Amino acid sequence: MVTFARFGYRKTSMEEVARAADISRPGLYFLFSSKDSLFRAAVTQALERDLAAVEHVLADTGRPLAERLLAAFDQWAGRYIGPLTRDVAVVIEDNPGLLGEIVVTTPQRFEQLITNAIAVEAKVEAKQAAAGQVAQTMISASTGLKHQAASRDFYLERLEVAIDLLVR
């Protein structure tokens, strides 16, 4: 992903990826028939890893909900803020046609994980029904902050305020 982020999808060659992975180009082609399949596999692995980290953080019910939500958003979006890491998110966002349904299903899974965490904590039925709307609002706040943030710390500080307001 770092190689794709550095050069962009179109300018990244299999030779550059092979060099970064410390494998021969024929060895890389043995594993992946094309740059498209390699890119799909790399993005899928990254997104699945992110979702697994989010699930792990949200499952720790010994921590307050607001703290778990902040950590979940950090795993999902915060870690992609900064010069090179921002480019990873951009290369994914710029190539949805190559990625297929994963660009739709993984954000939906993330939203469902956030919604479930909020709903479990909600004591009043009316709050449980609103959990999806709260999750969507948090995701919107995160998306906006991602584009404003020059640093991961700034993103997390501002998102913490939004989460505190939304989980009251």
Judge contact between 75 and 57, C-beta under 8 A. Answer: yes
**pLDDT for residue 125:** 58
pLDDT of residue 102: 86
* Pairwise CA distance, residues 32 & 52, whole Å: 24
| Predicted pLDDT of residue 139 | 95
Q: In this structure, which amino acid lies at residue 104?
A: V
Domains (ranges, CATH) in the chain?
A: 50-166 (1.10.357)
- Indicate the pTM of the whole model: 0.85
Can you give the pLDDT of all 168 residues of the chain as single tens digits? 888 888 888 888 999 999 988 999 999 899 999 988 998 898 899 899 999 999 999 999 999 999 999 999 999 999 888 765 656 777 777 777 888 888 889 999 999 999 999 998 876 555 667 888 999 999 999 999 988 888 899 999 999 999 999 887
pLDDT at 75: 95
What pLDDT was estimated at residue 3?
85
